[in-house]
């Protein structure tokens, strides 16, 4: 290795195949490049950087009856501002609009968020909550589709091989007309901070009967990978939305944090913070106030 880094800007997938075919060094793909400087400093340095930011085939949002399909190089600003997507999956647009600054959202991409696998990343708990499928173009030019947990395997770790590239994210549209969702985060500074805690919630809510039929809840920034809170889900599933549900929901959230990070320095902060975050989610989802007995949001 000479220490020099080669770069290329292919126009299509066939050109990418030609670039990686037989290349023996480390390959990195960039679209937004927001983590590139850090990656170059921390190593290992790539031998070839492939810029996919201009590939229209990887920058799109399409929806059909059953699913939403998003190109890996789609900027987060496009996700945040997409009205049709907001109508179908507000949890995703809400997360995208809370990532960094406007300048970062204009550059950062959904595929890059997955590939970087940062534990505090805002999109990761959302994508797991939505049970997304991730399409990967492998170095041998075959295409595979994997579940979120099969791709994001640890803090900064994925199952992607050298030269593999995320091409598409597919999100099934669960729960039909009864689908509601929301995202919330807490960071040191709201606009620019990596989340110290975030929550994504997707539910099947029968507004006529005021009943939550089914629900998925995932927390981020409390472990190396997003954590599905199944014990919390059980407190909501099949119940009417009322103060009793809110009380049980908040208690279950604190218990889940205690279980996830026992003895960690941040435990005391996060067990209180998650209550305020959970309360915000409930009030945003159902457009009503909940007042847990003996507790106020100022405690979070």
What would you report as the CA-atom Rg of the chain, rounded to the nearest whole angstrom? Answer: 20
| The predicted structure's pLDDT at residue 173 | 97
Q: Which CATH number fits domain 179-299: 3.60.20.10, 3.30.390.50, 3.40.1160.10, 3.30.70.100?
A: 3.30.390.50
3-state SS string over 12-69?
CHHHHHHHHCCCCCCEEEECCCCCHHHHHHHCCCCCEEEECCCCHHHCCEEECCCEEE
pTM of the model: 0.90
| The predicted structure's pLDDT at residue 40 | 61
**Spatial separation of the C-alpha atoms in residues 81 and 67, rounded to whole Å:** 19
- Let me know if the fold of 56-171 is the same as that of 179-299: no
Minimum mean pLDDT range among 19-33, 125-139, 186-200: 186-200
pLDDT reading at 118 higher than 80: yes
Q: Does domain 56-171 have CATH number 3.30.465.10?
A: yes
Decide the pairing of beta strands 61-63 and 67-71: antiparallel
pLDDT reading at 23 higher than 80: yes
Can you give the residue ranges of every domain in the chain?
6-51, 56-171, 179-299
| The predicted structure's pLDDT at residue 195 | 55
How buried is 159 (Cβ within 10 angstroms: 0-12 exposed, 13-18 middle, 19+ buried)?
Answer: middle
pLDDT reading at 191 higher than 50: no
pLDDT-derived band of residue 22, with 50, 70 and 90 as boundaries? Answer: confident
pLDDT reading at 101 higher than 60: yes
| The predicted structure's pLDDT at residue 46 | 87
Mention every residue, 6+ apart, whose C-beta is less than 8 A from residue 201: 91, 129, 181, 182, 183, 215, 216, 217, 281, 285
259 contacts 274 by C-beta, under 8 angstroms? no
């Amino acid at each position: 290795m000479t220490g020099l880094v080669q770069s290329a800007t292919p126009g299509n997938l066939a050109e990418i195949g030609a670039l990686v075919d037989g290349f023996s060094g480390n390959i990195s793909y960039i679209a937004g490049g927001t983590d590139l400087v850090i990656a170059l400093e921390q190593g290992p340095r790539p031998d070839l950087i492939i810029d996919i930011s201009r590939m229209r085939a990887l920058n799109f949002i399409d929806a059909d009856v059953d699913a939403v399909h998003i190109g890996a190089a789609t900027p987060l600003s496009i996700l945040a501002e997409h009205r049709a997507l907001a109508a179908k999956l507000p949890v995703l647009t809400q997360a995208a609009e809370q990532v960094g600054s406007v300048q970062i959202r204009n550059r950062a991409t959904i595929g890059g968020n997955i590939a970087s696998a940062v534990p505090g990343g805002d999109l990761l708990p959302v994508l797991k909550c939505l049970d997304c499928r991730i399409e990967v173009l492998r170095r041998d030019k075959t295409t595979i589709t994997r579940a979120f947990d099969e791709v994001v395997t640890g803090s900064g770790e994925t199952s992607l091989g050298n030269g593999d590239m995320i091409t598409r994210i597919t999100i099934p549209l669960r729960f039909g007309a009864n689908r509601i969702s929301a995202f919330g985060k807490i960071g040191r500074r709201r606009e620019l901070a990596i989340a110290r805690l975030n929550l994504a919630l997707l539910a099947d809510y029968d507004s006529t009967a005021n009943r939550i039929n089914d629900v998925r809840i995932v927390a981020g920034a409390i472990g190396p990978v997003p954590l599905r809170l199944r014990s919390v889900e059980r407190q909501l599933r099949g119940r009417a939305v009322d103060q009793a549900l809110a009380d049980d929901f908040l208690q279950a959230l604190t218990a889940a944090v205690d279980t996830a990070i026992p003895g960690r320095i941040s435990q005391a902060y996060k067990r209180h913070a998650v209550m305020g975050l959970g309360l915000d989610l409930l009030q945003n989802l159902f457009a009503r106030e909940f007042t847990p007995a003996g507790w106020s949001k100022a405690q979070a």
